[in-house]
């Protein structure tokens, strides 16, 4: 892979496909693009989409390439695997059912999935012999959604089953998880778990009477006009996707055909939805979802998905017991609310989006990177801080918050 001339870096930033999204006023700044361009010039950084928003003003940057070798520019409309950012989408579907009175976060999971009625905790293993004790605490919906349920990161042999291009339906994931011992008593510790989120999605299926991905489509993706998001990207979308690269500061980035946790094929009839880490999206679509969270439940198109109080109480604030790090329903969230608090989520290949509803701020970063170190991250973070801390003229901006009653 050949490094770029600086003139090509500037040209890449100006290419079509990264015009400011409709509505917000262009900030006229390029803080993030300027910060990471030295690594793009050297061929260590293939490309990324960055969106920074505050109070009606926005910096949008398509930096470099979706395919570095072919010099195919990256854009807001290239699909990519967002991995664990899918968890927040599951959290919103749970919140919808809670708001409608069809579900309570402290309901036993066994109320909807009877196979979880009797659970065992593994306390030790010696020479292949496991010691199990009956779980003392009742496993609740809240616990599976905030990673305190006691489940492992993934089921055994998950990689061999396609990873996040899952080869097993959600109800089967839940049944398999119920048949295995927990790592600790529910509600007593934290263990980040895709399995737990998938169990939450299986509960949604029982309560709604629909497959989880169909409920998500009907209640979230379609209303927000997220037309490029789904679990089965088309062949045309995959041909234009953001390619994956292995990166390491000081060395040229290397293209990767696939990752162990995301096995091809991505869109045939062997693929099932994964609520823990399976949704494909675009920067333009993901922006719509997180803007809805920032606007406390209503999209920029004026469609309300959730009530303000629902977002504030169970998505923007931790639902874990005291003494544990902040996490709500599929989203990293603060323990205590406050003007400087952000909530959102990241993904395995470096994607991230966080919002602050108090200050009406959003920061989105879309990449497909494995490996490290990534020396540009410090420069990028400082560039983001500069955007949020400096005064930018927002006169004439679209200051719509969507906070309709």
Average pLDDT over residues 280-307: 98
- Domain-located, residue 164: yes
Range of the domain at 157: 102-208
| pLDDT confidence tier of residue 84, bands split at 50, 70 and 90 | very high
- Domain-located, residue 190: yes
- Local structure of 327: helix, strand or coil: strand
Average pLDDT over residues 314-337: 96
pLDDT on residue 162: 62
pLDDT on residue 261: 72
pLDDT on residue 404: 43
pLDDT on residue 4: 59
Tell me the per-residue pLDDT of 89-143, one tens digit each, with 9 for 90 and over.
Answer: 999 999 999 999 999 999 999 999 999 999 999 987 777 778 899 999 999 999 9
pLDDT on residue 11: 39
Tell me the per-residue pLDDT of 333-345, one tens digit each, with 9 for 90 and over.
Answer: 999 988 999 999 9
Average pLDDT over residues 280-287: 98
- Domain-located, residue 165: yes
- Domain-located, residue 228: no
Total number of domains constituting the chain: 1
- Domain-located, residue 49: no
pLDDT on residue 268: 79
Are 99 and 150 in contact by the 8 Å Cβ rule? The answer is no
pLDDT on residue 248: 97
Q: Please tell me the least confidently modeled range out of 58-62, 260-264, 388-392.
A: 260-264
- Domain-located, residue 135: yes
pLDDT on residue 13: 45
Q: What is the mean pLDDT of the chain?
A: 91
- Local structure of 343: helix, strand or coil: strand
Tell me the per-residue pLDDT of 145-190, one tens digit each, with 9 for 90 and over.
Answer: 999 999 999 998 776 666 656 678 999 999 999 999 999 999 999 9
């Amino acid at each position: 892979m050949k490094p770029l001339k600086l003139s090509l870096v500037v040209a890449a930033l100006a290419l079509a496909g990264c015009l400011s999204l409709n509505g917000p006023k262009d900030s006229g700044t390029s803080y993030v693009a300027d910060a990471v361009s030295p690594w793009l010039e050297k061929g260590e950084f293939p490309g990324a989409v960055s969106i920074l928003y505050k109070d009606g003003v926005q910096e949008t940057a398509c930096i470099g390439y979706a395919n570095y070798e072919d010099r195919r520019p990256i854009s807001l409309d290239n699909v990519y695997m967002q991995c664990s950012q899918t968890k927040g989408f599951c959290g919103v579907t749970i919140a919808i059912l809670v708001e409608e009175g069809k579900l309570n976060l402290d309901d036993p999971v066994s109320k909807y999935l009877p196979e979880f009625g009797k659970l065992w905790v593994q306390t030790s293993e010696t020479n292949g012999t496991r010691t199990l004790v009956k779980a003392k605490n009742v496993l609740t919906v809240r616990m599976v959604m905030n990673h305190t349920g006691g489940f492992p990161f993934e089921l055994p042999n998950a990689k061999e089953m396609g990873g996040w291009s899952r080869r097993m339906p959600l109800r089967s994931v839940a049944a398999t998880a119920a048949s295995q011992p927990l790592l600790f008593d529910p509600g007593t510790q934290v263990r980040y778990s895709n399995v737990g989120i998938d169990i939450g999605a299986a509960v949604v299926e029982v309560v709604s009477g629909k497959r989880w991905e169909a409920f998500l489509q009907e209640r979230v993706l379609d209303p927000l006009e997220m037309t490029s998001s789904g679990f089965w990207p088309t062949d045309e979308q995959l041909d234009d996707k953001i390619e994956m690269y292995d990166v390491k500061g000081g060395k040229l980035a290397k293209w990767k055909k696939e990752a162990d946790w995301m096995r091809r094929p991505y869109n045939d009839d062997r693929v099932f939805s994964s609520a823990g880490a399976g949704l494909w999206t675009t920067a333009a679509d993901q922006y719509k979802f997180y803007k809805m969270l920032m606007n406390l439940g209503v999209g920029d198109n004026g469609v309300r998905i959730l009530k303000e109080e629902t977002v504030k109480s169970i998505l923007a604030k931790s639902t874990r017991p005291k003494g544990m790090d902040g996490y709500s329903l599929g989203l990293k969230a603060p323990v205590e609310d406050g003007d400087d608090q952000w909530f959102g989520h990241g993904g395995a290949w470096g994607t991230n989006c966080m919002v602050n509803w108090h200050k009406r701020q959003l920061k989105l970063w879309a990449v497909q990177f494995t490996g490290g170190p990534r020396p540009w991250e410090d420069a990028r973070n400082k560039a983001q801080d500069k955007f949020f801390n400096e005064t930018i003229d927002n006169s004439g901006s679209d200051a719509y918050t969507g906070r309709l009653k």
